[in-house]
Amino acid sequence: MAEGTEVNLNAVTQVHVDSEIPGGALLLEFAHALVEGEAQPLAGVRAKLAAAMGTEVVVDAAGVVSNFERMVRIADGTGIPLGESLAARSEPVREALDLERFRKGIPK
């Protein structure tokens, strides 16, 4: 996506919300299937994504999902905090999506 493109970030945490990204619903379906790791559903959604958007998009999407999953696991596993600058810049998005609800039981 080009910088400055308006998207609906609520789609990240609310599956019924349209992200307003072309092919967004299919990309989310692919990301979920990839993270869940079940071979048969993944193969089906991968084929749908390739037919709708091309194999290059499948490769790019798989790379993005995989890299994000890797980075999150490393950060979670080592307890890396956001840092002051990122915490400040991301606060409006974190508040809009009510992401703090996922911190239940996690000390600040």
Domain ranges of the chain: 9-102
Question: In residues, how long is the chain?
Answer: 108
Residue 78 structure tokens: 């080592």
Per-residue pLDDT tens over the stretch 64-107: 988 988 887 888 778 787 788 888 888 998 898 888 887 765 55
The model scores a pTM over 0.75: no
Contact between residue 94 and residue 12 where contact means Cβ atoms under 8 Å apart: no
* Angle, in degrees to the nearest 10, between helices 55-78 and 39-53: 130
Q: Confidence band (pLDDT; 50, 70, 90) for 63?
A: very high
With H, G, I as helix, E, B as strand and everything else as coil, classify residue 23: coil
